[in-house]
Amino acid sequence: MSVRAIRGAIDVSCNTVEAISDATKRLLLAMCEANNLDPGAIISIFFTMTVDLTAVFPAAAARALGWTDIPLLDAQELEVGGGMPRVIRVLMHVESDRPRAGIQHVYLDGALALRPDLTRGV
Tell me the C-alpha distance between 18 and 60, whole Å: 11
Q: Tell which CATH classification among 3.30.1330.40, 3.40.50.2300, 2.60.120.10, 3.40.50.300 matches the domain 2-119.
A: 3.30.1330.40
Q: What is the pLDDT of residue 114?
A: 85
Q: Where are the domains of the chain?
A: 2-119
Instruction: Say if pTM beats, i.e. exceeds, 0.85.
Output: yes
Q: What is the pLDDT of residue 121?
A: 46
Backbone CA torsion sign across 32, 38, 39, 41 = negative
pLDDT, one tens digit per residue, over 31-59 is 999 999 999 999 999 999 999 999 999 99
Asked if residues 115 and 8 have their Cβ atoms less than 8 Å apart, the reply is: no
Amino acid at 40: G
Concatenating the DSSP letter of every residue in 54-73 gives -SS-HHHHHHHTT--SS-EE
Tell me the C-alpha distance between 88 and 5, whole Å: 16
Q: What is the pLDDT of residue 104?
A: 95
- Low-confidence stretches of the chain (pLDDT < 70) are 119-122
Tell me the C-alpha distance between 61 and 88, whole Å: 12
